Amino acid sequence: MTLLLKYAILQVMKFSKSCINTLREDPKEAESKSHRILLRGGFVRPLVSGIHIYLPLGWRILMRIEKIIREELNRIGAQEMLMPAICPRDVWEKSGRWIEYGDDMFKFKDRKGREYCLCPTHEEIITGIARNSIRSYRDLPQIWYQIQIKYRDELRSRFGVIRSRQFIMKDSYSLDRDDDGLSESFELHKQAYTNIYRRCGIDFEIVDAAGGLMGTGQSSEFVARVDGGEDTIAICANCDYRASLEVAQGIGKVFDFADSPVTEVHTPGKRSVDEVSDFLKVGSENLVKSIFYTASDKEPMLILLRGDYEINEGVIRSKFGFSYKPADAETIVRFFGAEPGFIGPVNKDDIAIYADDLLKGAKGMITGANKNDYHMKGLNLERDVNVREYLNLRVVKKGDACSKCRSELELHNSLELGHIFKLGTRYSKLLGATFLDENGEEKPIVMGSYGIGLERIMACVCEQKGDEHGAVWPISITPSEVYIVVLNPLDNDVAGVAEEVIQALTNNGFSVIIDDRDLSAGVKFNDSELLGIPLRLTIGPKGIKNDSFDIHLRETKEIVRVDKTSILCKLQELKSMLYRRLNE
RNA sequence: CGGGGCGUAGCGCAGCGGUUUAGCGCGCAUGGUUCGGGACCAUGAGGUCGUGGGUUCAAAUCCCACCGCCCCGACCA
């Protein structure tokens, strides 16, 4: 037997001889649905917090996802390569991200004391490659990608593989001569990503997003609505507006309170918005909360927000800088002469004051009096406060109106699956990746960066399609297409028919798990459902006697009954039907 | 880092006002009976009770410290 044939036969996984470990009970550490399914089905296993082992079935799924990603990226002309996971410090110093990424990066020293990190992403390295290999505008555009493990020392990993400290990522990078080129590369990726997620059977949305540590250019997120997600997206029920909560802009209700002169009120021990509004018997929208931010390298600033809204930290960081942090109590006392909960914007002209735009023209408001245990009533922003600028600084909340069409916005839990960014020239300028244009002029390469987390696709499918019995894999990424339950496998007739059917299936390109364990039927049926294999064929003495075999569809629970000669044909038909359904 | 929960066999758990030999269910092994939705009988293997220290004649059990895991928050492409 040639080696090739031997591997071809491995298309068949014999349950009794495979590393498949299903758990009869839910593992206690798993609370989210995808985590539960992935652990119980034995697809993954934890090693330490945030780091997982991908067992054979889980790895098969990931490999099939990889294949789809490769096909779609190759189709837009992207070239695959593989970069190292280890990178020396100086490369990251040049981009400024050795500090910016900070503790989120795994860092270590080699035996000579030289410092390295395990790459959390690869903009620095890719820009280095571009610097060496791109000379002329004639070399552009190009798209490069890799599928590789990324390392991020997350503050808190959670939900199994959804937020982990080591994960597989497809990261691609586009190199263009100008913004128009970048826009084209960006659109190509948008199309490729759309195809990828559709082929993986995921129901997804494309939303506007924040660039975060990547930069401040345009970025879009591919997200899935799931109950167990860790992010939130705002979706307009009426128009096509959708945005990640970090950047979503809504229109809030405006309240008109009667104007009056400023007076102090005694509010002993009442600090929070809820405490003060309860105590004074007013709605939280009647309050102005003051949040004091300081930064090591920038001037302190006071942010004013209406009491019924939360501050959008993402906007603070992208607008004012990453170094801004809410001040501690001691600093607040030093600047305001009052404790947190009692500070306010009146007579604070020496501090930069930015207010949320919902406060423009607000009057009759209540805010801290800069005196412990006192607030002030009758605040008129225009009259009493020296606001430097009004900006949208609040997080959208349920009931806000869409900024595009004024319909109501809905908020949904979501899971980030992929993110595409227009980087622009940030990295190429810092790291000197330039080209000569037709006029012989040296210009920085205009770059884009695009990422997909592979495990999240797997987890997302569990979240969206999984049911009380376990996983439901789409035919495109299932670890195996057909699960054959052999009942009474020690019976010679049964074993004979099973053998025959398996031959026919593998000869026709099916991947098969055969459950040849000598166990009672229920155990095998339940495992087939837990493992989520789309098609299940049962071979047992009764079926052989009556020449009637059951094919069960995992997703719809339909049962199709066929005679022996039609098994192959029917399975082929069902398989193509399942593929067709993915494209609908 | 703050708050909460937990750590006893591969998995799920009981025992935890100190007491010979640490239990139960599932799984695993052997033999037998079964066999179309988590079978049954018999026998058996499997444990540094998270780690270290302390109290005590005696610690899984009481005390201290540490480690690890999960959840909430802070934080995060």
CB–CB of A525/A578 below 8 Å? no
- Quick check: A443 pLDDT over 80? yes
Give the tokens for residue A413: 């839990």
- CA A477 / C1′ B18 distance in Å: 57
Beta strands in A113-248 (DSSP E): 115-118, 142-151, 166-176, 204-208, 219-225, 231-236, 242-244
Query: Comparing C-alpha atoms, which of A395, A389, A50 is closest to residue A210?
Result: A395
Alpha helices in A17-144 (DSSP H): 33-40, 56-75, 89-95, 97-101, 123-133
Whole-angstrom distance, CA of residue A401 vs CA of residue A8:
58
pLDDT digits (tens, 9 = 90+) for A145-175: 999 999 999 988 999 999 999 999 999 999 9
* Ramachandran area for residue A361 (φ above 0: left; ψ -120 to 50: alpha; else beta): left
CB–CB of A220/A419 below 8 Å? yes
Q: What is the DSSP string of A459-505?
A: HHHHHHH-BTTB----TTT-S-SEEEEESSTTSHHHHHHHHHHHHHH
Backbone angles phi, psi at A420, to 5 degrees: -120, 135
- Quick check: A236 pLDDT over 80? yes
Residue A163: beta bridge partners?
Answer: A158
Alpha helices in A349-406 (DSSP H): 381-384
- CA A483 / C1′ B4 distance in Å: 43
Give the pLDDT band of residue A275 (cuts 50, 70, 90): confident
- Based on C-alpha coordinates, what's the Rg of chain A? 29
User: Which of the 8 DSSP states describes residue A400?
Assistant: P
Residue A6: its pLDDT value, please? 44
Q: Which nucleotide is nearest to A525 (CA to C1')?
A: B37
Give the pLDDT band of residue A132 (cuts 50, 70, 90): very high
Backbone angles phi, psi at A503, to 5 degrees: -55, -50
Give the pLDDT band of residue A216 (cuts 50, 70, 90): low
Q: Which nucleotide is nearest to A421 (CA to C1')?
A: B77
Whole-angstrom distance, CA of residue A118 vs CA of residue A106:
5
- Quick check: A137 pLDDT over 90? yes
3-state secondary structure of A268: coil
Residue A324: its pLDDT value, please? 82
Cis (ω within 30 of 0) for the bond into A141? yes
CB–CB of A474/A578 below 8 Å? yes
Residue A2: its pLDDT value, please? 45
Q: Provide the positions of strand B that have an atom within 7 A of a protein CB.
A: 1, 6, 11-13, 25-27, 34-39, 68-77
Residue A340: its pLDDT value, please? 85
- CA A22 / C1′ B18 distance in Å: 40
- CA A243 / C1′ B19 distance in Å: 66
Q: Which residue has the higher pLDDT, A129 or A242?
A: A129
SS3 content of chain A, % helix, strand, coil (to 5): 35, 30, 40
Whole-angstrom distance, CA of residue A42 vs CA of residue A517:
17
- Quick check: A1 pLDDT over 90? no
The neighbour count for residue A442, using CB atoms within 10 Å, is 9
Quote the mean pLDDT of chain A. 92
Q: Which nucleotide is nearest to A51 (CA to C1')?
A: B69
Q: Which nucleotide is nearest to A523 (CA to C1')?
A: B38
Q: Which residue is nearest to nucleotide B26 (CA to C1')?
A: A24
ipTM, interface predicted TM-score of the complex: 0.94
Query: Comparing C-alpha atoms, which of A62, A280, A64 is closest to residue A168?
Result: A62
Give the pLDDT band of residue A523 (cuts 50, 70, 90): very high
Give the pLDDT band of residue A11 (cuts 50, 70, 90): confident
**Amino acid code (one letter) for A329:** A
Whole-angstrom distance, CA of residue A459 vs CA of residue A273:
38
**Amino acid code (one letter) for A274:** D
Q: Which residue is nearest to nucleotide B73 (CA to C1')?
A: A156
User: Which of the 8 DSSP states describes residue A442?
Assistant: E
Q: Percent of chain A, pLDDT > 70?
A: 97
Residue A347: its pLDDT value, please? 92
Q: Give the H or E element holding residue A190.
A: helix A179-199
CB–CB of A161/A458 below 8 Å? yes
Whole-angstrom distance, CA of residue A331 vs CA of residue A110:
41
Query: Domains of chain A, with CATH numbers?
Result: 3-16+480-582 (3.40.50.800), 33-84+122-237+411-463 (3.30.930.10), 263-391 (3.90.960.10)
CB–CB of A530/A22 below 8 Å? yes
- Quick check: A214 pLDDT over 70? no
Q: What is the mean pLDDT of residues A341-370?
A: 92
How many CA atoms, within 13 angstroms, populate the side-chain half-sphere of residue A91? 19
User: Which of the 8 DSSP states describes residue A564?
Assistant: G
- Quick check: A8 pLDDT over 90? no
- CA A304 / C1′ B4 distance in Å: 33
CB–CB of A446/A179 below 8 Å? yes
User: Which of the 8 DSSP states describes residue A253?
Assistant: P
- CA A99 / C1′ B2 distance in Å: 25
Q: What is the mean pLDDT of residues A495-516?
A: 95
pLDDT digits (tens, 9 = 90+) for A84-123: 999 999 999 999 899 888 889 999 999 999 999 999 999 9
- CA A334 / C1′ B64 distance in Å: 40
- CA A24 / C1′ B47 distance in Å: 22
CA-CA distances (angstroms) from residue A559 to A371, A431, A550? Answer: 74, 61, 6
CA atoms A310, A314, A320, A326: torsion sign: positive
